[in-house]
Amino acid sequence: MKKYAASAEVKASGHKTEVTPVTLRHSYATHFTGLGVSPIVLGELMGNPTAVNRYAHPTKEAKQRAARLMEPTQND
């Protein structure tokens, strides 16, 4: 895994020190969730419907976007 990550110039981020299959799975789920891919579709792509709950993590931007959606509109 280290050899392939190095050749693709993929580096660990955050508190992780190396790229592993699990870190790639977390990145995949988080990235596609951030793009708005349905959890149902993402679970199918990951081969496990419950994988999204285990691997996807909300980004700061996704939390901010959700907060903006909850703000009252001028028509309220």
**pLDDT one-digit tens code per residue, 9-33:** 877 776 677 888 888 888 888 888 8
Structural tokens at position 62: 């996704």
Radius of gyration of the chain (CA): 16
Contact 39, 33 (CB under 8 A): yes
40-70: pLDDT as tens digits = 898 898 888 887 888 888 788 878 888 888 8
| More confidently predicted of 76 and 26 | 26
Contact 34, 61 (CB under 8 A): yes
